[in-house]
Structure 1
Amino acid sequence: MIGEINNALQILKEGGLILYPTDTVWGIGCDAANTEAVKKIYALKQRVDSKALICLVADDRMLKKYVKQIPEVALNILDITDKPTTIIYDDAQNLAPNLIAEDGTIAIRIPDDEFCFQLCRRLNGAIVSTSANISGYPTPNSFKEIQQEVLKGVDYVVNLHREKNCNKPSSIIKLSNNGVVKIIRE
């Protein structure tokens, strides 16, 4: 796994795109602070840049780097949930401007996956994680279902967990600083 982390890390630092297994589905990723790399993801997915993407961070400490004020309920939710959960936070910061939604929010997940954890730690930053498909097509359930256009459109394909079927995408919860909680996807 160390070799795969090093290879993916090099591509991320160069502003490239990786295709990698996450704690949910196969994802297309880049350095979440790199505006040009984020543009490449939108182009590859053929997706309008007003539709937000998810980021992965290693832990609570890293989360604080990207969210001005983390609602206390967020940490409680992350402690008690038993499935992958992405939270949309208000007041995003220190990310590529084209990654932050028009309303200033950002969707972030702390993955329960050693590869993703180590990659975020070694990058010392957030990584974009969007499903490995062209917009409008279904999310692939396994590596073998990923479209050729996606495979050819990234700079590096991580050689881990290619045989396993993926779980479903994460739950998504929007937590506003004013206390409003909204379930986006169960």
Structure 2
Amino acid sequence: MTDVTHAGEVLREGGLVVYPTETVYGLGADALDPEAVEMVFEAKERARDKPVSLGVPDVETATEHVQATDRETEFMYEFLPGPVTVLCQRREHVPDVLTAGREQVGVRVPDHATALALYRTAGTPVTATSANLSGRPSVTDPADLDGAFLEHVDHVVDDGPTDGTESTVVDVERGEIHRRGALADPIDAWLDRT
């Protein structure tokens, strides 16, 4: 059994998994399971008014969980997979706890083979939030994971160090970048010309 296969089983059973992306290490749970998402907040000591994004293996899967406009869909096909979080209108089955009660949810399709394999194996959207205690630096090497944080985690997929550049968070419909990170300049240019 591969590491990713086991990690996918952990996610399907409601557990927490640390996994690599092309930016930083993420903390994964079944994003459609409110109890699993609640455990993400507890592990990170994250305020409940701060939403968590969901990760999916491709844009087609994303549209099963968000009501993407034509412009958002065009943007996603342009920039995903990649280090970008796209804010879209969530569908009704996406739980309130994930979005902190908001109508939008962040969508991630990482440009990282291990992360995408994990999402496919899990068979469900997976939380896409950094694997760290809130307010602490993001982790780019699993060796640097906080011991207290790890007590909440059921499995770590160690794929070596990651890039460390945070994803850019963008509201395509409003043409706003909420957090500048990787690809921020090309995203600005795309928003300006469309």
Of 163, 168, 173, the residue aligned with 1:171 is: 168
What residue in structure 2 maps to residue 70 of structure 1? 68
Matched residue count: 179
Residue 140 of structure 2 corresponds to residue 135 of structure 1: no
Rounded to whole Å, the distance in 1 between the matches of 2:13 and 2:169 is 30
What residue in structure 1 maps to residue 28 of structure 2? 29
Q: Which segment drifts farther, 94-103 or 149-158?
A: 94-103
Report deviation, 1:11. Answer: 0.6
Rounded to whole Å, the distance in 2 between the matches of 1:122 and 1:154 is 18
**What is the TM-score when the length of structure 1 is the normalising length?**
0.88
Kindly indicate whether the alpha-carbon contact (under 8 Å) linking 1:32 and 1:127 is maintained by their aligned counterparts in 2: yes
Q: After the TM superposition, which residues 124-163 of structure 1 pair with which residues of structure 2 at under 5 Å, given as runs?
A: 124-158=123-157, 160-162=158-160
> Structure 1 runs of 4+ off > 4 angstroms?
none
Rounded to whole Å, the distance in 1 between the matches of 2:162 and 2:63 is 32
Q: Which segment drifts farther, 126-135 or 146-155?
A: 146-155
Report deviation, 1:132. Answer: 1.1
Rounded to whole Å, the distance in 2 between the matches of 1:79 and 1:60 is 7
Q: Deviations over 1:63-109 (max 9, x none)?
A: 11111x21222233234338511101123332233112323110011
Kindly indicate whether the alpha-carbon contact (under 8 Å) linking 2:54 and 2:125 is maintained by their aligned counterparts in 1: yes
Rounded to whole Å, the distance in 2 between the matches of 1:78 and 1:84 is 11
RMSD of equivalent CA atoms: 1.8
Point out where structure 1 has 5 or more consecutive residues left out of the alignment: none
For 2:178, the aligned partner's letter is I
Kindly indicate whether the alpha-carbon contact (under 8 Å) linking 2:22 and 2:162 is maintained by their aligned counterparts in 1: no
Q: Deviations over 1:13-41 (max 9, x none)?
A: 11000011112101111011111111111
**What is the TM-score when the length of structure 2 is the normalising length?**
0.84
Point out where structure 2 has 5 or more consecutive residues left out of the alignment: 181-194
